[in-house]
Amino acid sequence: MFSLRTVRTRNIVVPLRCTYRCVHVSLVQRNIPKAEELLDQFAQGNDKGASVTAKRQAYLNKYNDKLREKIAKEGFKSVDDMAASKRAAEAKVRETQRESESHPGTSVEARDEALREKLSEKRRATENSKLMDDSGSPSPVQPLSSFMKLEKVVHETPDNIGKLWAGFHIMKNKVSAVVPAATYVQMIVTAKKFPQFVLPLPRAVKNEAGNAENGYEIYYLQWVSLPKPKEASSNAPPPMAVLFTPLAEYKLRQEYAQPTLVLTHYTELLESKGIALMRGDITESENGKVHVQQQDAQLLALGLQRFYNLDWALEGLDNDEEAEKRRALLRSFYERPEAFKLEDLIELAWSV
């Protein structure tokens, strides 16, 4: 067993690390020369000093060749030059240490910031990978050109395009919508402020007595950017997808949780026709079942628009009490999660 004792001799504190048992203090004190013995040694310093000098000179002579090689290799002219350089380097190290000690949080903060950025990049890459299959092509998100011939709608009105879009997806039993450009821009502004949020989905649940009651399942949503169309201008809003995942599933698997619903907003016609086209894709599980039905997807799309179609330029000025409450709820979700109330979320999501 290792132990540590401290031996105090005059004004000197000597820590002793011993194995199995410690050396007794009295034994240590016996090995320390007395004051008069030290005086005698200094009084006899002539012969001893000469001996030390001779030994030092012999040592220098022995390693003189190696020392000259080292001096030449490191680019110094003499031993004094090399020693001065070493002292300057040590002084610089000490100065750096003092600077670090005077700002103890700087290096730690830089390290933490680098770690946060690395985790953020990993999260973004994982979120984007959810939209890609093994071959690298978007799945379930498909490019607009894969199911719409854009050259054939060039001369169509936005109203006609909307009817064609809705009719196509009704036949495919898919959720769709035509979003005016102004509405889409407002949603993007809100999405940049609050890229994650939660929405309640009404569900029928059984109580303790086995009777059906109205309840809610909470969904976690994330906005992710998609590649901008080639024909879009540099200042055009980017196309975005919204991933919906049951909150319980997201808590369990975090970034590895697979979305059950993806709402994709296509912007190819945003500048030419003033509309964005939204398409909803429901993800099937491994056994071919779906977690959400069409009506569930429509409710989530409606809830998304309620919370993200907000004009932030009118915050505090539009006299819209419901809009102010939704802004406050978004802020509390990010800035004051302890003040976020599920009851307020349910009321604001589905109040008429």
The yes-or-no verdict on residue 136 having pLDDT over 50 is no
Exposure class string for 301-328: b at 16+ Cβ within 10 A, else e: bebbbbbbbbbeeeeeeeeeeebbebbb
Question: Residue 48 falls within a domain, yes or no?
Answer: no
% pLDDT > 70, the chain: 66
Residue 194 lies in a domain: yes
Q: Give the three-state DSSP class for 349.
A: helix
- Residue pair 330/197 in contact (Cβ under 8 Å)? The answer is yes
First to last CA, the chain: 75
Please, how many CA atoms are within 13 Å of residue 92, restricted to the half-sphere of its CB? 6
- The per-residue pLDDT for 117 is 67
Q: What's the CA angle centered on 299, arms 150 and 216, to 5 degrees?
A: 150
Backbone dihedral region for residue 319 (phi beyond 0: left; psi -120 to 50: alpha; all else: beta): left
Give pLDDT, residue 63: 61
Domain, as residue range, for 217: 144-310
Around Cβ 153, how many Cβ atoms within 10 Å? 18
Answer yes or no: is 85 within a domain: no
Q: Is residue 2 part of a domain?
A: no
In the structure, what pLDDT confidence band is assigned to residue 316 with cuts at 50, 70 and 90? confident
In a domain, 116, yes or no: no
What is the dihedral angle through the alpha carbons of 66, 71, 73, 76, rounded to the nearest 10 degrees? -170
DSSP letters of 94-150?
HHHHHHHHHSHHHHHHHHHHHHHHHHHHHHHHHHHHTTB-TTSSBSS---GGGT--G
pLDDT number for residue 3: 43
Could you tell me if residue 143 is left (phi over 0), alpha (psi between -120 and 50 degrees) or otherwise beta?
beta
**Percent of the chain residues topping a pLDDT of 90:** 31
What pTM did the predictor assign?
0.60
The closest alpha carbon to 257, from 288, 300, 291, 294, belongs to 291
Cβ contacts of 301 within 8 Å, gap of 6 or more: 175, 177, 263, 278, 280
pLDDT 10s digits, 21-40: 343 333 334 444 444 554 55
Structural domains in the chain (count): 1
User: What is the pLDDT of the chain when averaged over all its residues?
Assistant: 76
pLDDT for 12: 43
How confident is residue 103, by pLDDT bands cut at 50, 70 and 90? low
My answer on whether omega of the bond before 140 falls inside 30° of 0, hence cis, is: yes
Least confident stretch, 98-107, 176-185, 210-219, 307-316: 98-107
Q: What is the side-by-side strand order in the sheet with 261-266?
A: 175-180, 275-282, 261-266, 240-246, 212-225, 196-206
Whether 348 is in a domain gets the answer no
Q: Residue 303: is its pLDDT beyond 90? A: yes
Q: How confident is the model at residue 142 (pLDDT cuts 50, 70, 90)?
A: confident
Residue 6 lies in a domain: no
Q: Among the listed ranges 80-89, 106-115, 272-281, which one has the minimum average pLDDT value?
A: 106-115
Rounded-to-integer distance, Cα 178 and Cα 180, Å? 7
- Biggest alpha carbon–alpha carbon distance for the chain: 114
Q: How many residues does the chain have?
A: 352
Query: How many Å apart are CA 276 and CA 297, to the nearest integer?
Result: 18
Neighbours of 291 (CB within 10 A): 19
Write out the two tokens for 3.
């132990």
